[in-house]
Protein backbone atom coordinates (compact mmCIF):
# COMPACT_ATOMS: atom_id res chain seq x y z
CA UNK A 1 0.00 0.00 0.00
CA UNK A 2 1.41 3.39 -1.05
CA UNK A 3 1.68 6.13 1.59
CA UNK A 4 -0.38 9.21 0.92
CA UNK A 5 1.53 12.48 0.93
CA UNK A 6 0.33 14.77 3.71
CA UNK A 7 -0.66 18.31 2.81
CA UNK A 8 -1.00 20.97 5.51
CA UNK A 9 -2.67 24.35 5.08
CA UNK A 10 -2.80 27.03 7.73
CA UNK A 11 -5.27 29.87 7.78
CA UNK A 12 -3.75 33.13 8.99
CA UNK A 13 -6.37 35.88 9.40
CA UNK A 14 -3.70 38.52 10.11
CA UNK A 15 -2.15 40.90 7.61
CA UNK A 16 1.38 40.21 6.36
CA UNK A 17 2.62 43.20 8.39
CA UNK A 18 1.02 41.97 11.63
CA UNK A 19 2.43 38.49 11.08
CA UNK A 20 5.92 39.87 10.40
CA UNK A 21 5.76 42.04 13.53
CA UNK A 22 4.69 39.06 15.65
CA UNK A 23 7.50 36.87 14.30
CA UNK A 24 10.00 39.70 14.87
CA UNK A 25 8.91 39.99 18.52
CA UNK A 26 9.43 36.24 18.97
CA UNK A 27 12.93 36.42 17.43
CA UNK A 28 13.86 39.40 19.60
CA UNK A 29 12.67 37.63 22.74
CA UNK A 30 14.53 34.44 21.78
CA UNK A 31 17.79 36.36 21.19
CA UNK A 32 17.40 38.88 24.03
CA UNK A 33 20.49 37.67 25.90
CA UNK A 34 22.70 37.84 22.79
CA UNK A 35 21.44 41.33 21.98
CA UNK A 36 22.11 42.53 25.54
CA UNK A 37 25.65 41.11 25.38
CA UNK A 38 26.29 42.83 22.04
CA UNK A 39 25.00 46.15 23.38
CA UNK A 40 27.17 45.82 26.49
CA UNK A 41 30.24 44.98 24.39
CA UNK A 42 29.62 48.02 22.18
CA UNK A 43 29.17 50.23 25.26
CA UNK A 44 32.44 48.91 26.71
CA UNK A 45 34.27 49.75 23.48
CA UNK A 46 32.81 53.27 23.43
CA UNK A 47 33.70 53.82 27.11
CA UNK A 48 37.29 52.59 26.70
CA UNK A 49 39.90 55.35 26.79
CA UNK A 50 41.12 56.38 23.36
CA UNK A 51 44.74 55.84 22.38
CA UNK A 52 44.88 59.29 20.71
CA UNK A 53 46.70 62.02 22.57
CA UNK A 54 44.92 65.22 23.62
CA UNK A 55 47.02 67.21 21.15
CA UNK A 56 46.06 64.90 18.30
CA UNK A 57 42.37 65.20 19.26
CA UNK A 58 42.58 69.01 19.18
CA UNK A 59 43.97 68.92 15.63
CA UNK A 60 41.02 66.84 14.40
CA UNK A 61 38.28 69.12 15.73
pLDDT per position as a tens digit, 3-61: 899 999 989 899 999 999 999 999 989 999 998 999 999 999 999 887 655 555 555 55
Long-range contacts at 43-49 (CB < 8 A, ≥ 24 apart): none
On whether residue 33 sits in a domain, the answer given is yes
On whether residue 7 sits in a domain, the answer given is no
On whether residue 28 sits in a domain, the answer given is yes
Which range of residues forms the domain containing residue 23?
Answer: 16-47
On whether residue 2 sits in a domain, the answer given is no
On whether residue 6 sits in a domain, the answer given is no
Which pLDDT does position 10 carry in this prediction? 87
Cα–Cα distance for residue pair 30/36, rounded to 1 Å: 12
On whether residue 1 sits in a domain, the answer given is no
- Whether this prediction's pTM lies above 0.95 is answered by no
Q: How many domains is the chain built from?
A: 1
Task: Report the SS3 class of residue 57.
Answer: helix
Which pLDDT does position 7 carry in this prediction? 92
Amino acid sequence: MERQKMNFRFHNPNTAEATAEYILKIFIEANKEKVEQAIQAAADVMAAPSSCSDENKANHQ
